[in-house]
Amino acid sequence: MKEIVSQKIMNQDLERYLQNFIESKDTFEFADLALHHYLAFNGQDQKAIEWLAAGIELLILSFDIYDDLEDQDNGSAVWMKIDSSIALNAVTALYTLSIQVMCQASHEPEFSQEILNFALQSIQGQHDDIVNAPQTEEACLEMIKNKSGALTALPCVMGVMLATGKYHPIVASYSYELGIIAQIENDYRGLYYLNNDFIQKKNTLAYLYLNKRFNAASAEILSWYENTELFLSLNSKQIKEKLTEAGVVQYLLVMKHLSLQKLKKEIARLELQENKIKKLITGIIK
């Protein structure tokens, strides 16, 4: 990724910012998704999958940065410590570069079109998140599918498309569920610290559930997020016990389980050898 930036970005000052952004990246799960699917469907071109994987991780990084800038979250990130206009221009360069790199993996017009379709779908989901559009659990799941699901489907579907030349609807179907699972896990972790989702009363699945105030514990938890000093005085054990008492832990686990069952059901429909399906499941479900 750093080598690609060095090759493609001629402005040295801009390059320095982008290299710093990349330096902060320590996970490459989306590249792994592309690789697992590429190999499962007998992809053979090592250079092509390397271009796709690198471009995907650049795209994911750009979306993470946009997300932080839009939510004014994650203040410790390098892009949050610089002038916002510089950060915004730099991330736009990163996003544009990511599309260019992914499209170099294949010269088929349909390939680049699908990449743009997924990116645009995620941006629209992000818009719904920013304006806090979801008012029901169903609407929230649809927003998650568009925002997180599309970004998760992109590496899976494009990995298969690079290997076979075809869009695979079954892969797309279960990949969206994988994105929903990841977002539910992220929302659950967010319950343990004062993130912007609760400060801004974002309609996450957890918040929508708690806001129904099924019991006294739900109302108490909501009051915690209103009182920063009180919340910071609590330890994780106290928080978890109250979340369990409110039923939100069980609720999120059930929602996650439902998506996991849909995912496994769809993967089983793939016309692949059983050992390849097992290897694929092991590779994408952590």
Domains and CATH numbers, the chain: 2-284 (1.10.600.10)
- pLDDT at residue 73, as a whole number: 82
| Element counts in the chain: helices (H) and strands (E) | 16, 0
For the stretch 218-265, pLDDT in tens is: 999 999 888 878 888 988 899 999 999 999 999 999 999 999 999 999
> How many CB atoms are closer than 10 A to CB 141?
19
Q: Quote the tokens at residue 261.
A: 């069952």
Q: Does residue 123 contact residue 117 with C-beta atoms inside 8 Å?
A: no
Cα separation, 95 vs 63, in Å, equals 8
- pLDDT at residue 187, as a whole number: 87
For the stretch 95-122, pLDDT in tens is: 999 999 999 999 999 999 999 999 999 9
Whether 196 has a pLDDT exceeding 70, the answer reads: no
Mean pLDDT of the chain: 94
Q: Quote the tokens at residue 87.
A: 């950060």
Whether 176 has a pLDDT exceeding 90, the answer reads: yes
What average pLDDT score do residues 55-59 get? Answer: 98
Determine the residue type at 150: A
Q: What are the CA-CA distances from residue 109 to residues 56, 98, 101, 103, 156 (Å)?
A: 18, 17, 14, 9, 18
- pLDDT at residue 148, as a whole number: 97
Q: Quote the tokens at residue 277.
A: 């399906």
Q: Quote the tokens at residue 44.
A: 């053979």
For the stretch 28-46, pLDDT in tens is: 999 999 999 999 999 999 9
How many percent of the chain have pLDDT more than 90? 86
Q: Quote the tokens at residue 9.
A: 């970005």
Whether 199 has a pLDDT exceeding 70, the answer reads: no
Give 249's contacts (C-beta < 8 A, 6+ positions apart). 188, 240, 243
Q: Does residue 79 contact residue 21 with C-beta atoms inside 8 Å?
A: yes
Report the residue count for the chain: 286
- pLDDT at residue 229, as a whole number: 85
Cα separation, 22 vs 151, in Å, equals 18
| pLDDT bucket at 195, cuts 50 / 70 / 90 | low
For the stretch 125-161, pLDDT in tens is: 999 999 999 999 999 999 999 999 999 999 999 999 9
